[in-house]
């Protein structure tokens, strides 16, 4: 009936879990395969992969001869290996709040 609805406290939702797993992208950054939960959108993964591919591209221009890199941030560890123009990217959460 809704009369007592003001007494009902809304359930607080906890932050969704950080993505964990791996995925491969082609040279355009499009996701090819993934082990990461489908709760994480393709756009999110492509945002990350765009930065990863740009990092590899810049390294090539700087003649750094880099085949893989790993970046450890507060909430997440991102490891990427170049794969014939594309990349395989591993995401491992370290534990942090979501937006």
Partner 1 sequence: MALSFLLPSFFKKPNIRQGLRLKSRCTNFHLLHQRIGNPCRYLIVMSASAATAVKHKILLLDDDPDVLDLYQQMLLQLPSEPEVHISSAGASAMTMLDAEPFSILISDLKMPRMDGLQVLAIVRRKYPQLRTVVLTGVADPQMRARAYAMGIDIYLEKPTSEKEISFFKDCIESLLDSEHSGGFRGVQSKSLVDLIQLECLSGSSCILKITNGKLEGRIWIQNGEVYDSTTQDVQGEDAFRRILSWRAGNFEILPIDLERPRKIMTSYQGLLLDTAQALDEAQAGGGSSEPGDNLSDTQYFRKAGLGRIHGVEFALRVPLDQDREVHKWGIENPEPIVTWLRAVVGRFQALHPGFELGAIDTLETRGIQRIIHVTLHSSDLIVVGMLPNASKDQISESTKKVLERWAS
d(CA 57, CA 51): 10
Query: Cβ(36)–Cβ(90) under 8 Å?
Result: no
Interacting residues of 64 by C-beta distance below 8 A, sequence separation 6+: none
Return the structure tokens found at 63: 């003649």
Residue among 26 and 59 whose Cβ is closer to partner 1: 59
Q: How far is the CB of 63 from partner 1 (least distance, A)?
A: 6
Longest dimension (CA), the chain: 70
Residues 33-72: x where in contact with partner 1 by CB under 8 A, - otherwise, as a string: --------x--xx-xx--x--xx--xx--xxxxxxxxxxx
Residue among 26 and 79 whose Cβ is closer to partner 1: 79
Backbone angles phi, psi at 92, to 5 degrees: -130, 115
Q: How far is the CB of 27 from partner 1 (least distance, A)?
A: 18
The residues that touch partner 1, with contacts defined as CB under 8 A, are: 18-19, 41, 44-45, 47-48, 51, 54-55, 58-59, 62-76, 78, 94, 96-99
């Amino acid at each position: 009936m809704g009369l007592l609805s003001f007494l009902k406290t809304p359930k607080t939702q906890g932050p969704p879990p950080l993505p964990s797993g791996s995925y491969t992208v082609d040279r355009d950054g499009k996701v090819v395969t993934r082990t990461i939960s489908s709760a994480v959108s393709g756009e999110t993964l492509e945002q990350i992969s765009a930065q990863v591919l740009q990092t590899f591209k810049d390294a090539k221009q700087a003649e750094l001869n880099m085949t893989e890199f790993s970046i450890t941030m507060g909430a997440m560890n991102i490891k990427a290996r170049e794969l014939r123009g594309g990349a395989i990217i591993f995401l491992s959460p370290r534990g942090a709040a979501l937006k």
